[in-house]
Amino acid sequence: MITVKMTRAEYEAYLLYLKSIEVMRNAKKGEGENSLLDEYLSDPVNVKEIEAGLEDIKAGRISYIDPDNLWESIK
């Protein structure tokens, strides 16, 4: 469990960041188009980390995300 201080605005910004990933993931693309996000999300490890981060935030186990060390903050 990671607990550090974060302003409400920073917390809401991080939730928006996670939501933007979800929206981009669900966006429809034309034939033959491939994005770096698709490539990133094709790795099950990356998807697992994103989902774990969402669960931890919703459960209140994470209250601060270090923007300079994002993935370490949500592991």
pLDDT digits (tens, 9 = 90+) for 52-62: 878 887 887 77
Whether pTM exceeds 0.85: no
pLDDT interval class at 29 (50, 70, 90): low
pLDDT at 32: 56
- pLDDT band of residue 41 (cuts 50, 70, 90) is confident
Query: Residue 27: what pLDDT?
Result: 66
In whole angstroms, what is the distance from residue 48 CA to residue 42 CA? Answer: 11
- Half-sphere exposure of residue 30, counting CA atoms within 13 Å on the CB side? 0
